[in-house]
Amino acid sequence: MSNATAIIAAEGPVRRAPIALLQVARRNRGVLIGLVLVLALCVVAALSPVISPHDPIATAPDDAYLPPLSPGHVLGTDELGRDQLSRVLWASRVSLPVALVAVAVGLVGGGLFGLVSGYAGGVTDLLLMRVVDALLAFPALILAIALVAALGPSLRNAMIAIGIVAIPVYARLVRAVVLQLKQMEFVVATRSLGATPLRLVLRHLIPNLMNPILVQVSLSAGFAILAEATLSFLGLGAQPPTPDWGQMITTGRTFLPNDPWLAIVPGAAISITVYSFNLLGDSLRDALDPRLRS
Amino acid sequence: MAFAHLLELDNLQTHLKLRRGTVRAVDGVSFAVDGGETLGIVGESGSGKSMTALSIMRLLPRSGSIVGGKVTFKGRVLTDLSEDEMEAIRGGEIAMIFQDPMTSLNPVFRTGWQVGEPLRIHRHLGSTASIKAAVDLFKKVGIPEARRRVSQFPHMFSGGMRQRAMIAMGLSTGPSLLIADEPTTALDVTIQAQILELLRGLNREYGTATILITHNLGVVAGMCDRVVVMYAGRIVEEGRTDDVFAHPEHPYTWSLLRSIPRLDAEGHEPLKPIEGSPPDMMRLPTGCKFQPRCPFAIPRCSSEEPALSSVRRQQSRCWVTQSGTELAG
Which strand (E) or helix (H) includes residue A48? helix A29-51
Tell me if A159 sits within 8 A of A101, measured CB to CB.
yes
Q: What is the DSSP letter of B268?
A: -
Look at chain B and count its residues: 329
Q: Report pTM.
A: 0.82
Neighbour-count burial for B35-66, b at 16+ CB within 10 Å, e otherwise? eebbbbbbbbebbbbbbbbbbbbbbbeeebeb
Q: Is A290 on the interface with B (CB under 8 A)?
A: no
Within 13 Å of residue B222, how many CA atoms lie on the same side as its CB?
15
For residue B239, the cross-strand partners are B227
Q: How high does pLDDT run on average in chain A?
A: 87
Q: What is the pLDDT of residue A12?
A: 47
Find the CB nearest A193 among B90, B103, B110: B90
Q: Do A191 and B59 touch (CB under 8 A)?
A: yes
Give, rounded to a whole angstrom, the gap between the first and last alpha carbons of chain B: 46
Q: What is the mean pLDDT of residues B141-150?
A: 91
Quote the minimal CA–CA distance from A204 to chain B in Å.
7
Q: How far apart are CA B316 and CA B290, in angstroms?
A: 13
Go through chain A and tell me how many residues it has. Answer: 294
Q: With contacts defined as CB-CB under 8 Å, which chain A residues touch B103? A: 183-186
**Is the pLDDT reported for residue B275 higher than 70?**
yes
In Å, how far is A208's CA from the nearest CA of chain B? 6
- Return the domain boundaries, chain A: 38-53+82-288
Instruction: Say whether pLDDT at A2 is over 50.
Output: no
The residue ranking higher by pLDDT, B39 or B273, is B39
Q: With contacts defined as CB-CB under 8 Å, which chain A residues touch B121? A: 193-195, 199
Percent of chain B with pLDDT over 90: 65
How close does chain B come to A239, measured CA to CA in Å? 45
Average pLDDT (B147-151) is 91
User: pLDDT confidence of A30, banded at 50, 70, 90?
Assistant: confident
Mean pLDDT, range B149-176, rounded to an integer: 91
Asked if residue A1 has pLDDT above 60, the reply is: no
Least confident of A64-78, A131-145, B156-170, B183-197: A64-78
CA dihedral sign of residues B249, B255, B257, B262: positive
| Cα nearest neighbour of B99 on chain A | A185
Cα angle value A59/A64/A65 (rounded, 5°): 140
**How many whole angstroms from its chain centre is CA B283?**
25
Instruction: Provide the pLDDT confidence category of residue A24 given band limits of 50, 70 and 90.
Output: confident
| Distances B165 to A179, B158, B171 between C-alpha atoms, Å | 25, 10, 10
Distance CA B89, CA B83 (A): 10
Note which residues in 109-148 of chain A have CB less than 8 A from chain B.
121-122
Q: State the nearest Cα–Cα gap between B221 and chain A, in angstroms.
A: 27
* For residues A190-201, average pLDDT: 92
pLDDT of residue B79: 93
Query: Looking at the partner chain, which of B90, B107, B110 has a beta carbon nearest the beta carbon of A192?
Result: B90
B31: amino acid identity, one letter: F
Q: What is the pLDDT of residue B273?
A: 83
* pLDDT reported for residue A239: 84
What stretches of B41-126 show up as alpha helix (H) in DSSP?
49-57, 83-89, 111-115, 117-122
ipTM, interface predicted TM-score of the complex: 0.85
Question: Quick one: pLDDT at residue B216?
Answer: 87
List the single residue in A with minimal CA-CA distance to B100.
A185
B135/A3 Cβ within 8 A: yes
Domain A38-53+82-288 has CATH 2.40.30.20: no
pLDDT at B265: 65
The per-residue pLDDT for B189 is: 86
Q: Quote the minimal CA–CA distance from B198 to chain A in Å.
A: 20
Q: In this predicted model, what pLDDT tens digit does every residue of B196-237 receive, in sequence order? A: 999 999 898 888 999 999 988 888 998 899 999 999 999 999
* Mean pLDDT score of chain B: 90
Across A142-154, average pLDDT: 91
pLDDT of residue B168: 93
Top residue of B60, B81, B109 to mutate, by most chain A CBs within 10 Å, is B109
Task: For each of the domains in chain B, give its residue range(s) and CATH number, in order of start.
Answer: 7-231 (3.40.50.300), 247-322 (no CATH)
Region B153-165: mean pLDDT is 91
Residues of B with a Cβ under 8 Å from any A Cβ are: 54, 57, 59, 62, 87-92, 95-96, 98-100, 103-113, 117-118, 121-122, 127-128, 131-132, 134-135, 147-148, 150-151, 166, 169
Residue A108 CA to residue B59 CA, distance in Å, equals: 29
The values of phi and psi at residue B228, to 5°, are -115, 125
Chain B neighbors of A121, CB-CB under 8 A: 62
Contacts for A101 with CB less than 8 Å, ≥ 6 apart:
A159, A163
Tens-digit pLDDT profile for residues A58-77: 888 888 788 888 888 888 88
Distance separating alpha carbons of residues A96 and A45, to the nearest angstrom: 8
pLDDT digits (tens, 9 = 90+) for B109-140: 899 999 999 999 999 999 899 999 999 999 98
Chain B residue whose CA is closest to A208: B108
CA–CA gap between residue A35 and residue A54 (Å, rounded): 29
